Each structure stands twice: as structure tokens, then as C-alpha cells.
Structure 1
Amino acid sequence: MPICRFPLTAAALALSFASAAQADEGMWTFDAFPAAQMRKDYGWAPDTTWLDRTRAAAVRLTGGCSASFVSPQGLILTNHHCVVECAQDNSTDQKDYLKDGFVPARREEELKCPGQQAEVVTAISDVTGRVKAAIGALSGEALVKARNGVIAQIEQEGCTDAKTTQCEVVTLFGGGQYKLYTFRKYSDVRLAWAPQFQAAFFGGDPDNFNYPRYALDAAFLRAYENGKPVKVASFLKWNPRAPQVGEATFVVGNPGSTQRLFTSDQIAFQREVSLPITITTLSELRGRMISAMDESAQQKREGADGLFGIENSLKVYIGRQKALNDPDFIKSLADVEADIKAKTLGKQGVGDPWSDVGRAVKAYRDIYLPWRYITPSGTLMGYAKTLVQGAAEREKPDGERLPGFSQSNLALTEKTLLDAAPVYPWLEQIELAWSLSKAREYLGADDPDTKLMLGKEAPEALAERLVGGTTLADPVARKALWDGGSTAIAASTDPLIIYARGLDARERALKKLVDERYAGPLAAAGAKLADARFAAYGDKVYPDATFSLRISYGTVQGWTERGQQVEPVTTMGGAFDRATGAAPYDLASGFVASAVKIDKAAPFDFVTTNDIIGGNSGSPVIDRAGSVIGAAFDGNIHSIGGNYGYQADVNRTVVVSAAAIQQALEVIYPAPGLVKELKGK
């Protein structure tokens, strides 16, 4: 996702932080879809059969994206930026699938995506009573341990077949509800088609979080099982028609995270502490990356995906900081909090959870920096931490393990650790040295944690020694350590394993402090805050996003920006008009070569009023008939403020149309096999 062009003014950020959800607002769980409200707004709402069929076709990708099945042969529609890592992992200096695109002639040529897993929700059940009973009157670290223990037990009971199923207890309303989501998982996911990166990312950084857009941000994956494409019963009908202004649209996917239910103390912590540090340090990493990538064409290719992610994240964090520095915006948030307090504060069963949150946040300020920096960054460092922690955790009873190592999560943790994927030493050294230098900067050179992490070495020298000496880039070496457990970890002479062993005790001690002083109190207060919301507004509220399956409804509609109407639909010809020949507005070579064949009047991208956030990337955009007419890939500039609230008149979802994807499949990056498959032939 590219650059923020419009500033976040007070007027633009006067979001409707609705006490109860208003028209088109809400990322609703499937078991609580507001059918009555939609029927009131639109004169129609989907029934249970429609919802069940759609839910069964929705896919969650472990890379942090959403998707959907669009054929009975396991074909999955998602965004190009959701498969960039897969394309890059499979690329070489001789064959660059980001530069050239990927169009296999046969299914046998489809490329495996390391670490990727596709998951489909098959059931949702309420386990709130069981989790709250286990928590009881506990507090602090004891609360966290009891909660994690019963969650691990529920997940293990729910999924006895670790090969094909996965269970996840999702925390909603900050601890007000707990729902068990059961998934059918597919661990063999392959790239089936992708356009050139320049086609998907036309307009580059200047157009990110902007509109009009002319981006072909779409790709296809395929789920396999036992070496063959899976046969799925539920999939969305492919419908490459033009979107109609005013028609109802649904976005089904897994929005990653929102903070719409945060208290004023939590908002203040973001504004004063976490966002400024994140923006400052990420900006430095971006600079280091660009400098290193300029050294060679190879490093430019190898670093492209990482730089893309950093720049996109910076857009988000800068936008959030602007929002939270706007006094009118903050007043809007405070007014909502005041309204809830006026209706519920001090009443039986509610008490004063806002003060409880305030005390927890104050305590967190004292431990945030060491907790943030105790584990340095990098893929190799992540492998080392997983191996060291995993050896110890797998020896414990399931209910006592750290998250990620319980039986229900172990298969995915192992897959992520052991799947073969390229590792670039120069990039690893940059990330590791950067994170170590930031730890020293923010903690201070004399801080005990700084000394633990650096000893007497400089960040750059330590990073060079650890990355240069480790064998963890080799999946065979990782597997040997994983299979060997504690004995292998204790005996290892790998410098990165030795380093991770040295940090492990301190990280565990800090986690204990975080659980005792922050996570535990927040969980207890969150349950009371949820009770307050329900007491004030009934069931017309929805939980914050948690990368769990949600559905939103809206309509194809533009908006007014600075007194001018932004039309909702762009055309294929508009990309040619917008092109300048200079990056990032240079047309992809596939577009240039196919210029005379492309239907210039065909729709390209469009916008809707659907309420989404990061994590919804790749979500199918579905019409009333239940067919897919596009894939959500971005939001406009106002959607960044949507992290804290939603404003129907300017908040927009940006979608690549199925019509544009069809054009690409037929004439720009021809894939006749996929065209036939999508037609059901």
C-alpha cells in the first residue's frame, strides 16, 4: 500500500466514533451479523444460508492477509502484495517473478509458498463462560496463566486432528467474550498466477492510501493436499462485471487490529510513547535499507519486499500519529468515553474499569522499553528464539506453555520455522544491527539490558559476527535443533543459539512483569468495559478487529474531497492517461505490450463504504447475489483514522475489480487455464 497525499485535517478526522454502530460501520463477527440494521438501511439483508455459504469460502492466510476460494479446484483469490514474499522466495537473479510476473503454463508449475497456510472457519462457538470461570477472581500474572491454560485446553479438545484442523480461541471486547474458532487448514499453498509488481503497485509510494488508483493488486494461489489441488465444496462465483454505483457490497475477511475500544489512557500511551518511537526507528531502518539496496541490483531485488512493508507501515503509523495529535479528534474520542461513563460508571458489576486501565498503562510505561527491545530483529534471530523457547516449552504440560507452543499452535509454529525460504545475510545484518543500536539508544549504554544484549561489542560488529557464524539459514540445521530439543539446544555452539540462550531468562522475566502489571489487569478491566458497553448500548456494538473472520456491508460510492467529487470507479484507460513514463508512474511492460488489446473503458479500481482495516487485504468484495466482483487491497487516506473510528462520508475501501483481473487474465498476462476454470469449465 502506497503514500498519504492528503493531510489528516481536523475536519477529515471528525470520525463518528459511534457509541453504537451507525450505517455501514462495523467489522461484524459472522455469528452476530446485524441483519435487522442492514435490512433497515438497505431494505434487504443476507439470510443464514447466504452467510454460511460465504463464510465457508472465506480464507485466512498466515502471512496476515485475507482471501477466498473462487473455484472447486482450490483456486484462491487474494492481493498481489499478499504473495510478494512467495514470489520473491521463489525468484533468483536469473528469474525475477516480481519484475516479470508469474504465469505458469500448467498447474504442475505452480510454486510452493514457504510458511504459508490457508485457513477456513468451519465453526464458531462461545466459550466465554468456561474461560471466565477459570479466571475467577484471579489477577495479574495468575490471571494470564489461568486464561492461557484453559484456552490451550479448549483448543486441544476442539482439534484432535492437527494435520487438517486448527482451533483458536479469539478474545473479543478486550476480554468481554471468548469464542472458539475451528478452522480447516491447508498447509500446502502454491502461487498460481501473479502480474508484474509494477502493474500491481502502479503509482508506487505516492499513490498509497490514495485514490483514484490504477493498481492491478491481485493474484491467485491454490491450496493443495497430498500433492493435489484440494476439492472445495464452497467457493464464490467469479463475476467480472462492472461495479454499479450505489449497489450493496460485502467485504469478508480478517481485519488485523483496531483500537476503537481503547480508553483515553491507552490512546495517550500510543500518542506519547509507542507511535513516536516506532515512526522514528522505522524511518531509520528505511534509510539503511535504501542505502544498502543501492549497492547492487541483487540487493535491490532481495530487499524489495522488506522495504515495501516498511514504507507501508510508516504510512499507517504517521497517519495514526497525525490523528492522535489533532485536538478535535481527541475530543471526539473523549466525548464517547464520557458518554459511556455517564451511563455506567459505578453501577453494579461495572465499577471503574477506566481507572484500572489507567493504572495498568502507567505501570507499562516503566517496562515498555526493555520489553520492546529485549529480542532483536531479523528472520534468523526469530528462528533462534523459536528454537530456544520451543525446546523448553515442549517439555511442559500443554496448559503451561507460552503462546505459540501449545499443541493447537505447534504445527504452524513448526511449519514457519522449518519451511525452506531464502535468507539474505546482508539484510539480516542490517535488521539485527539496527534493532541493537536502537536498544542502546533508548535504554542507554549503561542499562543492564543493553549490556546483556551487547556485552562489549558494537551493534554492527555483533550483528556481523552472529549472522556470519550461524547455520540457521539452513532448514536442515534448524530441523536438527528442533528435533533434538533441549539437549541439542544446550549443546549447540551456533553463535546465534548461544546468544538467544543468553537472552531467554531476561525475556521470560520481563514477560512475567508485563503479565503481572499490564496484561492481567487489562484483561480484567476489559471484561468490565465490555459489560459497560453492552449495558449502555445493548448488542448494537461490534468488537475491535483481531485478525479473526468478519463481515462488513456498504455500497459502491465516491466521496467529496476538498469540495470536489471523487468518482468511485476508474478505468483501464485511466492508467495510460496517468502514466508519465517515469517511476513510479511508468506502465508495466505487460500493459505497454498489450495496449491495443486492452478495453480502455473497462473498470479498473473502485471504492466502497465498507469498513475495513489492515488484514483485510485480499478480502473478496461480494455483491448481493453472493458473487465476487473484486478484491479489497487498500483504503483511502481517511481509512487510517479508521483505526480509532469510522466516518461514513469519507472512509473508503479501495478495490481492484474482477473486470480488471479478467482483462489481465485474458490479454495482458494470458492464463487461459485460469480463465476456463473461473468460468466453471
Structure 2
Amino acid sequence: MKRLAAAAAIALACSPALADEGMWTFDNFPSAAVKAKYGVSIDQKWLAKVQDGSARFGGGCSSSIVSPDGLVLTNHHCVRTCVQLNSTASANYIKDGFMPAKREDEKLCPGVSVEILKDITDVTARINAATAGAKDYIKARDAAIAAIEKDACKGRDDKYRCQVTTLYQGGQFKLYTYRKYTDVRLAFAPEEQIAFFGGDPDNFNFPRYNLDFGMVRLYEDGKPAKTPNHLKWSTENPKLGEPVFVSGNPGSTSRLLTVAELEGLRDISMPDTLIMLSEIRGVLEQFSAESPEHERIAKNLLFGVENSFKGNYGRFQTLLDPAMMASKRTAEADLKAKVKADAKLSAATGDAWGELEAVERARPTVEKPYIWLEARAGFRSDLFSYARSIVRGTAERDKPNSERLREFTDSRLPIVQKNLFDARPVYPDLEKVVLVYWLTKLRENLTADSEGTKLFLGKESPESLADKLLASKLADPAVRKALWQGGKAAVEKSDDPMIRFVLATDAASRAIRKTYEDKIDGPADRADEKIAKARFAVYGTATYPDATLSLRLSYGAVEGWNEKGKPVPAFTYFPGLFDRATGKFPFDLPARWLSAKDKLSTKTVFDFVTTNDIIGGNSGSPVLNAKGDVIGAAFDGNIESLGGDYWYDGSVNRTVVVTTAAITEALKKVYGQDRLVKELTGK
């Protein structure tokens, strides 16, 4: 499952990280290396302050707390789902922006939680003891994780969440305790055309002119949350060469994969992912062209698909790079030689690399049915997602916590429930498009004669089955809540067509998931863990773990780079935005920006680049100066950084950031948001 979640991503050179490489955990940050290179002292007080002001946003972004009244800074593309869900045909906040005049007008972000990491505890020994000699590794590991999470949060109120995070591919397990906020409201979002100016052509490129920021507010008991430990907002321009830090939640990297795993990714998983993304992009583009309303309701999904395609294509090119693969083979040979030279270590590690090669040989026969019957089932259909959560959740919660599917353990049930209970629009026309696409591809990939196709489609065509499923009432949160609270008995009695469909097919989906775990995930995780422990024995913790959507800190400097012999400056300024504007999509500007052109400072840095090592999931991360003040929000990387899933090349990998100076300038002179500026700056 980790492979499909990443859909990309090479191993660390098995030696201490060099240059500005590394997404480091807060309890293993290389302060001495930073001091030696940049002369900056990062002590525990600094780390604690930054950790307390950094937050995981939603299911895949980062953010920072930037005021004493719960104001949170992240990217526009991280809040765009909230913006979309609060929009209507007559109030299109994606197009026109969301700019409330007062706090009372801030709008709920359905399904969104914000989490602040409060504590880290090592639980490796407990999980190792539970899995030692286990026949079913995944079941034993997940049972141990569920028990640890439940014990850790026992007696705490529902404001906290306890989550075990796997590091170094199972070499370490850490218990992360989060303070969570579930009442999250949209406070400000600019127009998409300034937040994503340049559109897909400029994506993953630089120079950039994107005001890619959005703001939400945390609420408790119906009132803005008090957040005295917020980070300080800076209105100063970044300076060339100054050291900077990115605190965020990078989603997934694959720098610790073996050569065999990378080759399987290159030859099997990635081509399939790229084909799927290119096909659904075409489907959504056609749907969007049919009417302005279709364009509006599909915009968010199409944005995500286009971004994923471009990102995965860049990663695929890295997998095809002989130099990258050669570096991995060299690093792997070095580790193997050191393991072989130690008889005790060699015996403990066994032939873990050979075990992974066997997994990759088995993958082709299992992966396609797993993808279409389980991992991509429903393919972004809200109705299907609700039905599966209700059917599985009501069945799983009756089991002991240690025996449940991981997504329904006690620590995760509040998130499932929030997603089910929060009101959000469901668009039947878009639902039909994604359901028909999924069912068509299921039949195409598994063939019409397969048992899976016969079970899911029966005698129906994808179109006719989708029409029947769209009679579901699950768009109504009251219906979802009643089924959830009614439990398994209520679900089994339901005549809702989507509930009946999931009930009829879920055994097959669960079966292929179990097969995938037994033949692919389980053996791979066990072998990866052996290699991780061998790596620890040889190199210690001088290297950092792969990204896991958990809080990390990277260090670097404000610095441009050379691209094909041509220098790329580190900064862009407001005049460059207007020079780049053509008046035609995607280089058109909102009218209020054209009117404000002469008011904006020509000396304010708009966007800039740094050498920080980041990846997807870092979107919205605060970019901090040496004092720990927020000077920007990371929103992208350059095209060269897409290979960062596998390795870091400090000569060209760059993080792209929108400055807090530019945000402040825009709030004052374009949007007239003096209220927000005063809250952010205290002036």
C-alpha cells in the first residue's frame, strides 16, 4: 500500500547526509551540522517553539499558527477544497476569492482537522517484541500499534490523538501525540488566478508569481482558539544567502527503497499511475468544457489530477536516470558488504534483498486487482467513500481494537466520524463521471470474464450501474449519521443502493487487500525492516528517515541555481508579475490586481527559492529565519526537485516560497484587509 500511496519515490547514500539534505525529525535534528555550516544555534528551546507553532493541515498539507487567536497560514491549494465546498453557482469563491469582513463570517471547512505535535515517544522495543516470530507480520504489527495508540490516549479528552509513526521502514516506531482542532473555518483565500497564476505551464518552475496562501482559523467551543505559542509573522524581505528552515509534514519519499523496489516502481507501478492520470485528466477536461457549472464543480479534482500527473512524470524521469540508479546500486553494494563482514549482523539480516526481489516478481499478478477492487475503488466518488466508511466502520468497530483494519482503530474513528457527519455538497454529474471511469477501467484491467468484474458489474454497463448507484441518499449527512449510529444492524437493513453495492462487493475487496498484504506488503515490510536495522547497525542515526506525513525540519539557504548554464535568480518581485501577465488564461490577473498595480512596492520580494529539502505534504509549511520567525509559506519545488522522492541534489533542488512580506502587501493594498494585517503584525 505504501508503494501506491507514494506512486513514486532512492535510497539514501548510506552515510551521513551532506549539503542541505534531509527531512529530520525534531528529536534527531543535526544542530551541530547547522552550526558548522551556517553559524546558527538551533537549541531545544528553538525547536520546541517551532514545533508548537507548526501544524499538520487536513490530510496532506502543512501550516503554521500565526496569531494568538488561532489564525493559521497555509497554501491556497491546501484550502481550495474548503473554498470549493463553500462555493455555489452564484458565489464562486474559487474565482472571486473569500474575504470576510469580520470573524463571524468565517465558514466551516468540512472534514478538515488541524493537528499540532506535542510529544514524541520511542515505542520500537514494544512493537519489535510483538512482531518477533509472528506468522502474520502485518496483523501482529498493526495490533501492537492499535494497542499502543489506545493506551496512550486513554484518559485524555477528544482534543488529543495518538498515532504511531513508522520511521526508517520499520527500523524505528515513534508514538506521536497530537493536539487536534476539528472546528476549522476559512478566514481568507485570494482568487485562484493570483494564487495559481501561470497555471500548469508554470507549475514546478521558477521564476514564479503565485500568491499561494490561504488562512483558516481554529475554533474551540464556538470561539476562536487561544494560541499563545504562535509563531511570529515577519514583514521583512528574505536575504540572499541567509539560512532558513522549513517545518512541515512531508508526505512520502522512497529514498530507502532497494534497487529491486525502485525497478518495480519504474517498470510496474509508475507507468500504470501515469496512464490512469492522463486518462482521467482527459475525461475531466471534456466534462469541464460542457458547461460553466461543470467547470466549477470539476475544477478542484482536475487541479489535483494535473498536479499529480506532472509530479509523477518528473519522478518517472528520475527513475529512468542511469546516474541515479547507479548511485543507488553503489550505496546498496556498500551496505551489503558491511553487513556480510559482520557474521552476527549477516545472520540477523539474512537475504532481505533477495526477499524483496521475490516480492517484485510476485507483484504483477496481484497489483491490478488490488488497485481496481480496493485501492482505487470508487475513484474519488464521495458517495462510494461514504458507503465504504459506513459499511466497514460499523463492522470494524464491533471488533476488539487490535483486530480492526488500521483506519478504524479507536485513534482514527473520530476522523472517520467527522468526515461522515460534516455537511458538504455532492455533485451528481461529477459523481457519475468518476464512477463510470472507475467501473470502465475495472472491467478493462481485470477483463470482462474475471470474477471481480462479474461481481462488481454483473449484467450492468458502467453507465447503467452508475445511474442506479446515484439514487443513493448518502449526500445527506443526516442519513449518514443515522446509519453510523444505527450500527451494523441498520446498515444491513438499509435499502440505499450504494450501501447495498458496497455490502455485496466488500468481501471481495477485503480479500484482495488481504492477498496483497500477505504476498506484497507483509514480506516487503519485514524485509525492509531487516535492512533498516542493518543500516542502523552500520551507520547509526546519522541519516534521516523517509517522509511519513509527520513533522520534520529541514535546513538550507536562500539561493538560486544554474539551469543549463543559465543563472536563475532567487527572487521575483511585483513588477515581474505584471510583465508576465497577458490577459489570457492562465496568465490573466483579477481586476482588483490590475487596479492596485501602482500601489504595490516594487522592492517587495514576491516569491523566492531555497535549498531546503522538501516534498509533497510540505505545501503550506512555514519557512523560518534563524530567529524562528515566519518569512514565507512553501508552496512548490522546481522541476528538478521532483527527483527528490529518490535523492537530493543540492545544486539544483529548490523549494519555492511565497513571502509573508508579499502577503502583507497584498492584504493591505489589494484586499483592504487591515483587520487581518493588524492581527498578524500586532500593529
* Class of the TM-score when normalised by the shorter of the 2 chains: over 0.9
1:433 to 430, 433, 436: 436
Q: Counterparts in 2 of 1:145-184, with a 5 A limit?
A: 145-160=139-154, 161-184=156-179
CA displacement at 1:619 relative to structure 2: 0.1
Using the alignment, how far apart are the partners of 2:10 and 2:112 within structure 1?
A: 39
Q: Is the counterpart of residue 249 in structure 1 residue 251 in structure 2?
A: no
| Residue ranges of structure 1 left out of the alignment (5+ in a row) | 1-12
Match of 1:38 in 2: 34
SS class of match (2:613): coil
Using the alignment, how far apart are the partners of 1:498 and 1:66 within structure 2?
A: 37
Using the alignment, how far apart are the partners of 1:17 and 1:527 within structure 2?
A: 17
1:78 to 71, 74, 79: 74
Match of 1:326 in 2: 321
Q: Counterparts in 2 of 1:210-225, with a 5 A limit?
A: 210-225=205-220
Match of 1:416 in 2: 419
Using the alignment, how far apart are the partners of 2:142 and 2:87 within structure 1?
A: 40
Q: Counterparts in 2 of 1:111-510, with a 5 A limit?
A: 111-139=107-135, 142-160=136-154, 161-345=156-340, 347-374=346-373, 375-377=377-379, 378-467=381-470, 469-510=471-512
SS class of match (2:600): coil
Using the alignment, how far apart are the partners of 1:123 and 1:148 within structure 2?
A: 21
CA displacement at 1:269 relative to structure 2: 1.5
CA displacement at 1:70 relative to structure 2: 0.5
CA displacement at 1:455 relative to structure 2: 0.9
CA displacement at 1:15 relative to structure 2: 11
CA displacement at 1:121 relative to structure 2: 0.4
Using the alignment, how far apart are the partners of 1:225 and 1:120 within structure 2?
A: 15
Task: Report percent identity of matched pairs.
Answer: 50
User: Is the CA contact 1:152–1:399 (under 8 Å) kept in the aligned structure 2?
Assistant: yes
Using the alignment, how far apart are the partners of 1:153 and 1:100 within structure 2?
A: 48
Match of 1:4 in 2: none
User: Is the CA contact 1:323–1:329 (under 8 Å) kept in the aligned structure 2?
Assistant: yes
User: Is the CA contact 2:217–2:224 (under 8 Å) kept in the aligned structure 1?
Assistant: yes
Matched AA of 1:248? P
SS class of match (1:124): strand
CA displacement at 1:266 relative to structure 2: 1.2
User: Is the CA contact 2:637–2:656 (under 8 Å) kept in the aligned structure 1?
Assistant: yes
Matched residues, number:
666
Using the alignment, how far apart are the partners of 2:390 and 2:504 within structure 1?
A: 13
With 42-51 and 541-550 compared, the bigger mean Cα shift is at 42-51
- Structure 1 stretches of 4+ moved >3 Å: 13-19
CA displacement at 1:581 relative to structure 2: 1.4
Using the alignment, how far apart are the partners of 1:496 and 1:15 within structure 2?
A: 43
Matched AA of 1:326? D
Change (3 A) 1:16 1:488: closer
SS class of match (2:598): coil
User: Is the CA contact 2:113–2:181 (under 8 Å) kept in the aligned structure 1?
Assistant: yes
With 425-434 and 512-521 compared, the bigger mean Cα shift is at 512-521
Using the alignment, how far apart are the partners of 1:164 and 1:460 within structure 2?
A: 44
SS class of match (1:195): coil
Alpha-carbon displacement from aligned partner over 1:252-291 (angstroms, at most 9, x marks no partner): 0000000000111211121111111111111111111111
Matched AA of 1:635? G
Match of 2:5 in 1: none
Using the alignment, how far apart are the partners of 1:616 and 1:24 within structure 2?
A: 16
Matched AA of 1:198? Q
Using the alignment, how far apart are the partners of 2:168 and 2:540 within structure 1?
A: 14
1:640 to 622, 639, 642: 642
User: Is the CA contact 2:10–2:328 (under 8 Å) kept in the aligned structure 1?
Assistant: no
Using the alignment, how far apart are the partners of 2:671 and 2:294 within structure 1?
A: 27
Using the alignment, how far apart are the partners of 1:29 and 1:166 within structure 2?
A: 19
CA displacement at 1:511 relative to structure 2: 2.0
With 557-566 and 150-159 compared, the bigger mean Cα shift is at 150-159
Alpha-carbon displacement from aligned partner over 1:554-602 (angstroms, at most 9, x marks no partner): 0000000011100001001110111111111112222112112111221
Using the alignment, how far apart are the partners of 2:18 and 2:118 within structure 1?
A: 29
Using the alignment, how far apart are the partners of 1:184 and 1:360 within structure 2?
A: 38
User: Is the CA contact 2:12–2:256 (under 8 Å) kept in the aligned structure 1?
Assistant: no
Matched AA of 1:277? D
User: Is the CA contact 1:103–1:670 (under 8 Å) kept in the aligned structure 2?
Assistant: no
Matched AA of 1:395? D
Using the alignment, how far apart are the partners of 1:432 and 1:20 within structure 2?
A: 47
Matched AA of 2:550? S
Match of 1:618 in 2: 620
Matched AA of 1:335? T
TM-score, normalisation: structure 2 = 0.96
Using the alignment, how far apart are the partners of 1:579 and 1:240 within structure 2?
A: 25
Matched AA of 2:661? A
Match of 1:584 in 2: 586
Using the alignment, how far apart are the partners of 1:605 and 1:117 within structure 2?
A: 28
Using the alignment, how far apart are the partners of 2:111 and 2:378 within structure 1?
A: 21
Match of 1:69 in 2: 65
Match of 2:555 in 1: 553
User: Is the CA contact 2:558–2:610 (under 8 Å) kept in the aligned structure 1?
Assistant: yes
Using the alignment, how far apart are the partners of 2:540 and 2:411 within structure 1?
A: 34
CA displacement at 1:162 relative to structure 2: 4.7
Match of 1:6 in 2: none
Using the alignment, how far apart are the partners of 1:365 and 1:532 within structure 2?
A: 28
Using the alignment, how far apart are the partners of 1:679 and 1:509 within structure 2?
A: 55
SS class of match (1:412): helix
Using the alignment, how far apart are the partners of 2:206 and 2:550 within structure 1?
A: 27
SS class of match (1:82): helix
User: Is the CA contact 1:88–1:98 (under 8 Å) kept in the aligned structure 2?
Assistant: yes
Q: Is the counterpart of residue 24 in structure 1 residue 5 in structure 2?
A: no
With 348-357 and 572-581 compared, the bigger mean Cα shift is at 348-357
Q: Is the counterpart of residue 87 in structure 1 residue 90 in structure 2?
A: no
CA displacement at 1:531 relative to structure 2: 1.7
CA displacement at 1:508 relative to structure 2: 1.5
With 267-276 and 309-318 compared, the bigger mean Cα shift is at 267-276
Alpha-carbon displacement from aligned partner over 1:2-61 (angstroms, at most 9, x marks no partner): xxxxxxxxxxx9998564311210000000001122222222231000001100110101
Matched AA of 1:151? I
Alpha-carbon displacement from aligned partner over 1:132-164 (angstroms, at most 9, x marks no partner): 11111114xx22111111111111111133520
Match of 1:3 in 2: none
Match of 2:514 in 1: 512
| Residue ranges of structure 2 left out of the alignment (5+ in a row) | 1-8
User: Is the CA contact 1:173–1:543 (under 8 Å) kept in the aligned structure 2?
Assistant: yes
Match of 1:10 in 2: none
Using the alignment, how far apart are the partners of 1:492 and 1:449 within structure 2?
A: 24
Using the alignment, how far apart are the partners of 2:42 and 2:504 within structure 1?
A: 55
Using the alignment, how far apart are the partners of 1:648 and 1:178 within structure 2?
A: 29
Change (3 A) 1:563 1:18: farther
Matched AA of 2:409? S
With 344-353 and 293-302 compared, the bigger mean Cα shift is at 344-353
SS class of match (1:675): helix
With 412-421 and 244-253 compared, the bigger mean Cα shift is at 412-421
Using the alignment, how far apart are the partners of 1:461 and 1:22 within structure 2?
A: 57
Using the alignment, how far apart are the partners of 2:75 and 2:265 within structure 1?
A: 30
Using the alignment, how far apart are the partners of 2:138 and 2:10 within structure 1?
A: 37
User: Is the CA contact 2:11–2:258 (under 8 Å) kept in the aligned structure 1?
Assistant: no
SS class of match (1:581): coil
Match of 2:3 in 1: none
CA displacement at 1:364 relative to structure 2: 2.9
TM-score, normalisation: structure 1 = 0.96
Using the alignment, how far apart are the partners of 1:560 and 1:259 within structure 2?
A: 26
Alpha-carbon displacement from aligned partner over 1:329-350 (angstroms, at most 9, x marks no partner): 3222222222221222472432
Alpha-carbon displacement from aligned partner over 1:195-214 (angstroms, at most 9, x marks no partner): 11100000000000000000
User: Is the CA contact 2:195–2:212 (under 8 Å) kept in the aligned structure 1?
Assistant: yes
User: Is the CA contact 2:10–2:262 (under 8 Å) kept in the aligned structure 1?
Assistant: no
